[in-house]
Structures are given as C-alpha cells and as structure tokens.
Structure 1
Amino acid sequence: MSNFDPNAILRGAQLTVVGAHRALQNPELFTTAHYHQAAVAVCAGLAIRIILNIPIYMVKILVWIISLFVNLDHETWDDKLISGLDFISKSVLQVPFFLMMVMGSVTPTLDNLFMESLKWVDTTYVQKHKSDDPATLRGMYYPALKMYPTHGDKEKKEKRSLIDGVILFLAKYGRRAAISLAIYALTFLPGIGRFVLPTASFYTFNKAVGPVPAGIVFAVGLIVPKQYMVHFLQTYFSSRSLMSRLLEPYFHRIRFTKQQKKIWFIDRSGVLFGFSAAFTVMVKVPLLGVLIYGIAEASTAYLITKVTEPPPPPGPSSQEYIESEVRWKNKHLFLNLPLDRLDELNARMTGAEKVGRVEGTEIPRRKFT
C-alpha cells in the first residue's frame, strides 16, 4: 500500500505542477521548430481522428436518413445509440488518447524535448546555486544521459521503418482495445455483469499495486454506476500507458531488464500515477492535447531528478547504477518532506545523511530548488 498511498499520489500531483512550471520557463520550448512540429502534429491528429470516427459518422448519417422517413421525435433509441457509440469511442477505446500515443510513436520530437528540458533543469539548478559549495550539490543528469545510445545493442541500432513502428503500435493498441470491448460487453450479462468490472479491476490492481488498493477498488466498483467505473479504470490504465511513453527517453538510454523495469515502476507507482493522471485527462482535449503531451514530456525531465539519482557516464559503472536504481532508495525521504520543501531532495547526500533523514532527523536548512 505504501507504493500507492494517498500521500505518494499527492506528491506526484505536486511534481506535475512544479515540473510543468519549470518546463514552461525554458525559452527553448517555444522555438520555431517546436511550433512547426506541434502544428504538424495537430493537423495529423485531426486527420487520424476523422478517419477513426468514420464508423460513428456513418451510423449518424444512417439515423438521419431513417429520420427522413420515420418520425423519431418521440423515440429515444437513436439518442441512446449515438451516445453509446460516443462513450465507447472516448471512454472504452480511448480514441483521443490513442491519437496522442501515435504521435509519440512516429516522431523523435518528444525524445529531443525530454533531453532539452533535462538540460534546462540542470542549468536552472546550477544557476540558483552558483554561490553554494559544489560539494553539497547533486550531480548533473543531462551530460551523462546524452552520452548513452538510444537503441541499445548493436543489432538493435537499426531503426525500424516508420510503417513497421506504426504497425507494431497498432497491434498493441488493437489487442488492448479488443480486451476493453470484451470486458465492457460482459458487463451487460444478466446476473454476473455487475461483477465483471470490479473483478477485472481487482485482478489488474492486485498485480500492479497490491491487494489493499485492489480490494478498495473492487468494493467501490460494486457501488458506483458502471460508467463512472469505466472512466476511472480507463484513466488509470491510460495514465500508466502515458507514463510509460513519457519515460521512454530515459529507458532508451538506461537499459533495465523487463523484470527490473517492472519493479522500478511498482516501487514508484503512486508518485507516477499522481504525476500522469492530470496530464492524461488534459491530453484528451481536442487540438490542445498534443501541446499538453509536449509539456508532459518536458515535465518528465523534472520528475526523473526526483525519483532517480544522477547516472554515471556509460561504462562498467552503468550496470551497477541500474541495479541500484531498481528500488527507489530515497522514497521515504521524499514522501516525508513537508509540502513547501519538495525540492530539497536535490542534494548530494552521504549515506549517513540519508539514513538520518529517513529516520526522522531534521533536514539541514540548505538552499535547494
């Protein structure tokens, strides 16, 4: 429960605000190149949205044609049909969110944005502490991370073609969409339908964050209307997918194994959910969603400096760094910081300092940001 408790989620939400504010202060975020890429992404998103909504448009046209011959003023089935299709499109299949994920899969813009923002976070930190003792400051993230290759081993350095990347992403999305539709369809079965969503949510939450949160979600799912449960579950799953995408620039360079990466996410699950939940909702806003996605990626650079330690340059020490980062060593320290001292983790701390702070000793009054 400690990985996904309310305090961890709150700290993640705080990082959303602070990270976005820090990212928006970066003048490089508003360059002509980024504006051009954003404009292209918005146009492409509109085109894809129209294409994916063609079946809904066809049903609406069919209903309109029927209304020319049949008086539907006193009928409700047509309104229920159209609203049901809209609900499936936006809440079950998550089409608006899918559009943003496609854009993130086919362009390197977000990787560049992450690295540029990470450079800005380091630069801002150095500027604010130029008069401090360097021995008390944390290490830098950007100089080391930029030295890592982004495609792993030599045989993986050959980039997939754009079409192959899109096909792979569509296959993953198609599988998830099919499972979502199947679960949603099972909720209409008489007798057992009301237990489908709570059971599915318990199974998933138990694997991701443990039995206590899963049990709470199961109990709530038996009470609240189905539509609210669908919105909540899809927001949770979408936030996980979004967070995974936002962290790809980091994981493309720091190569965790599949099991190490799974533990990495579980150990930070509450903070990551709190960070990504607000962005998940805003990303679905038409037209502005792709711009919010860019801000979310830029903000992730700030998040990384809170949930990891600065990496070493590539070499023998990098594997030792990966093994040490699987578990979040500063978790209790970070979660126990007062709300107005959120940035005080940005210190180069000795082992004794870390132990003392976690055990409840007073945090030295330094200038941290």
Structure 2
Amino acid sequence: MSNFDPNAILRGAQLTLVGVNRALQNPELFTSTHYRQAAISVAAGIAIRLIVAVPIIGVRALLWFLSLFINMDHAQWDNDVTNGLHFLEHSVLQVPFFLMTLMRYLTPTLDQMFMDSLRWVDQTYVQKHKSEDPHNLRALYYPNLQLYSTHAAPGEKKKTSLKEALVIFFLRYGRKTAISLTVLALSYVPYVGRFVLPAASFYTFSSAVGPQPALVIFSSSILLPRRYIVTFLQSYFSSRTLMRELLEPYFSRVRYTKEQKKQWFQDRAGVLFGFGLGFFVFVKIPLVGVLIYGLAEASTAYLITKVTDPPPPPSEAEEFKKDSIRWKNKHDFLSLPWEMLDAHNIEMHQPKRQSDVRQTPRKTFS
C-alpha cells in the first residue's frame, strides 16, 4: 500500500482544501474572462440538470398516461422504475459528471485558469519566503512551463485535433459504460450474482492497494447492498477520471509517453485519489458543480507543485520526463507535519537545509 496508504489519501484531501484556499486568493480568478466563464458554467449546470432530467420526466409522463387506463393506486413498480432510472443515470452511468468533463473539450478557459493559478502559486511561495535567501528556495514552476507549447514540436507526433479528442473521449466513456452495465447486469444472475460486484471490487483494488486490503474490501462488500457497492466503485473510477482531466493542462505541455504517464500516476496514486475524491464529492452538487469543476482546475496548480519537480526549459524536457516519473520526495512529503505543507518545497530542492527546516518550522497551512 506504499502508493495508496490512508496517509497518502488524507494528504490528497488536505491538498484539496489548501489548493482551494490558494486559488480563491488569486485576484486573477475574478477577472471579467473568468466571470464570463462562471456565467457560462452556471448556464451549463442548468442545461446538464435539464438533460439528465429528460428521461425521468419522460418516464413519469408515460406512467401518468398509463394511469389513465390502469389503476396504479396500490402499485409500487412505477416508483421502482423512476428510482431505478435515477440510480442508473447518476450512480452507474454518471451522466452529469460525463457532461461536465466534456466541457474541457469545448472551452480553452480551463487551461488558462490552470496556468494563471500556477503563476499565483509561485508568487505566493516567493512572498511567503521573501525574507530568506532566494538561492535556498525552490525553483518556480510557471516560467518554464509556459514555454512548453501545447502544440506538437517538429519531429513529434501531431497533436490530437478537437474532433479526434472528442472521439477518443466518447469511446473511452462508452467502454466504461459498457463495462459498468455488464457488471451490473451480471450482478442480477441467480446464485452467483451476489459475488460479481465484490469480485469487481477485489479486481479493481488488488493492483492499487495490494491483495490483502482488496480481500478485506471483497469480504465487506458481500454484506453490502448492491446500490452501495456500485456507488463505491463508480466514485473510485470517477475520481480517477476527474484527476486525469484536471491534470490535462500539465500533460498537454509535458508530454509523457503512455507508459511514462501510467507510472507517473501509479507512483502518486494515493495522493491523487484523495485530491480527486474531495472534488468529486462537490462536483456532484446540482447546478454549482460546474463552478466547482473550474475551482478544482485552479487548485490542481497547487497540487502540481507538491507531487513533481519544477520543469526545466523545454530543451531539457526529455531528461526531465525520465527523471520525474518517480516521486522522489514522496516519503518526505507524506511525513511532514500537517501544518508544514510548504516546507516540502524547501526539503525537495535543498536537502542540506532539512535540519534547518525542522528546527524552524513554518506554519504555512493557510
């Protein structure tokens, strides 16, 4: 459980809170551009709620029409149908979440929000440590990262077009939907069905947390109702999907290979899950969820400064990608006192000053 232990997940949740706090302090977050995007987000939130509600409203209208000819005063199946449809949309298919993540491909504002927030995180860090020797502080993230192009460089594979990106997005969502519906359908098979969802839980978590914790999850899930297991599994998968979408502005610039990117995520799995799960809970709030999604993007800039090194100039990118796959200072970060979150930056780049950091702790949680 070295990559997915409870402490790592809690640290990710802490980064959620601190990241939001930092993002909301950024005056550039409240510019006219972002206000306009906020208004669009609210409108999109309303549209998403209406789109999701259409099937349920349609079913209710059909049931009302049938009630003109059939006595349903003592029937319960009509409520079961509407409740089941609601559960299918929100917990199995995650339709609102799907429509929300789709917005990234339709507006470039989220990418700019990430970069503006990253610049603010650097400025805040310098301001917090302005009384110290600048040579003892960490390198900044924004100056070099903004030099990285989001377009393919000569000799690189051509950047995916919007149409291709949307096709990949829909195919990925369609594959996940097919798997979810298949597993759910198999859970209704007599006798063996009750073991399908627990087995899916074990398979999902055995590679992430190890076979023994996964076996505990398997044993516990046998005793739980189907609805709770489905919600648990989908929350896990959706929080991972959310995290990958939030990190897209970073990976669109520092372009790792597929295998490098997999290792990058795996080495930071616990912290990323805690961070993504915290926002996933709030993103599901009706109407304002899209606004929370934008705030999560801004907060991801703070996360980046904790889980990877500052990028070098683009000319040194290849060596940096090989070196940054592993989170070298993971143990130092996870063992920090809760109120010394920013001390990680000094220990990370100035190991000779670790004793100084411990002797003169900085309360930089806020």
Q: What is the TM-score when the length of structure 2 is the normalising length?
A: 0.93
Question: In the alignment, what sits opposite 1:83?
Answer: 83
C-alpha change, 1:323 and 1:158, in structure 2 (3 Å) is closer
Distance 1:338 1:48 in 2: 41
CA distance in 1, matches of 2:44, 2:132: 48
- The alpha carbon displacement at 1:135 in A equals 1.8
Question: Match for 1:169: what amino acid?
Answer: F
Range moving further from structure 2, 85-94 or 180-189: 180-189
Deviation string, structure 1 residues 329-348 (Cα, Å, up to 9, x no partner): 11111111111212210216
Answer with 343-352 or 29-38: which moved more. 343-352
Tell me the equivalent position of 1:321.
320
Report the counterpart of residue 226 of structure 1 in structure 2. 226
In structure 2, give the amino acid aligned to 1:22.
R
Which region of structure 1 is more displaced relative to structure 2, 276-285 or 150-159?
150-159
> 1 CA distance for matches of 2:206 and 2:174?
24
SS in 2 for 1:140: coil
Mark the CA change 1:323 to 1:364 in structure 2 (over 3 Å): closer, same or farther.
farther
**SS of equivalent to 1:309:** coil
Distance in 2 (alpha carbons) for counterparts of 1:244 and 1:277: 12
The equivalent residue for 1:333 is 332
- How far, CA to CA, are the matches of 1:46 and 1:167 in structure 2? 25
C-alpha distance after superposition, 1:205-263 (max 9, x if no partner): 22334323322321221121111111111111000000000111111111111111111
Cα distance between partner residues in 1 of 2:216 and 2:12: 20
Alpha-carbon contact 1:268-1:307 (below 8 Å) kept: yes
Return the offset for 1:53: 4.4
2:105–2:166 Cα contact (<8 Å) kept: yes
Rate the CA distance shift 1:51–1:71 in 2: closer, same or farther, 3 A.
same
In the alignment, what sits opposite 1:201?
201
Is the contact made by 1:49 and 1:95 (CA closer than 8 Å) also made in structure 2? no
- Per-residue deviation at 1:35? 1.6
Identity %: 59
**Alignment length (residue pairs):** 363
In the alignment, structure 2 segments of 5+ residues that lack a partner are none
Cα deviation, residue 6, structure 1: 0.8
CA displacement at 1:349 relative to structure 2:
4.6
Do residues 8 (structure 1) and 13 (structure 2) align?
Answer: no
- Cα deviation code 1:107-156 (max 9, x no counterpart): 11111010000000001111122221112211100000000011334465
Distance 1:158 1:235 in 2: 31
User: Does the alignment pair 1:344 with 2:339?
Assistant: no
Report the counterpart of residue 186 of structure 2 in structure 1. Answer: 186
Map 1:217-296; keep pairs closer than 5 Å: 217-296=217-296
Are the counterparts in 1 of residues 13 and 278 from structure 2 also a CA contact under 8 Å? yes
Alpha-carbon distance between aligned partners in 1 of 2:311 and 2:320, rounded to the nearest angstrom: 7
Structure 1 CA distance, aligned partners of 2:158 and 2:33?
26
TM-score by length of 1: 0.92
Q: What does residue range 29-108 of structure 1 map to in structure 2 within 5 Å? A: 29-108=29-108
- Which structure 1 residue ranges, 5 or more long, are not aligned? none
Structure-1 separation of matches of 2:176 and 2:269: 21
Give CA-to-partner distance per residue, 1:159-185, whole Å, 9 cap, x none: 624x54433322221221121111111
- Per-residue CA deviation, residues 70-91 of structure 1 (Å, 9 max, x unaligned), is 2212111100111000000000
Q: Which amino acid aligns with 2:332?
A: L
Q: What residue number does 2:358 align with?
A: 363
Which one-letter code corresponds to 1:171 in the other structure?
L
Q: Which residue of 1 aligns with 2:161?
A: 160
